[in-house]
């Protein structure tokens, strides 16, 4: 019984932290210029949120 409660507590904590991180990761934007710039990520403004994709094979 106590193992079940510990498991449920751990799962609740994990899911809560995952939910907080997921919701805070998006940045509001109106244009692409509102999004941050980076060498390794390309940000695009989609549905008024900055979303990124990783640049593969980047040669500096």
| Residue 60 located in a structural domain | no
The pLDDT of residue 25: 66
* 35-60 pLDDT per residue, tens: 888 777 788 888 898 887 766 665 55
The pLDDT of residue 3: 87
| Residue 31 located in a structural domain | yes
| Residue 25 located in a structural domain | yes
- Domain of 49 in residue numbering reads as 2-54
Q: What are phi and psi of 33, to 5 degrees?
A: -65, -20
Calpha distance 54→38 (Å, rounded): 10
For residue 18, what are its two tokens? 């995952």
- Residues 10-33, mean pLDDT to the nearest whole number: 78
When divided into structural domains, the chain yields a total of 1
State pTM to two decimals.
0.46
The pLDDT of residue 27: 84
- Residues 21-36, mean pLDDT to the nearest whole number: 79
| Residue 59 located in a structural domain | no
| Residue 50 located in a structural domain | yes
């Amino acid at each position: 019984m106590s193992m079940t409660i510990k498991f449920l507590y751990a799962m609740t904590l994990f899911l809560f932290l995952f939910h907080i991180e997921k919701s805070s990761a998006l940045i509001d934007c109106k244009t692409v210029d509102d999004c941050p710039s980076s060498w390794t990520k390309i940000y695009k403004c989609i549905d008024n949120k900055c979303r990124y994709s990783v640049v593969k094979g980047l040669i500096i």
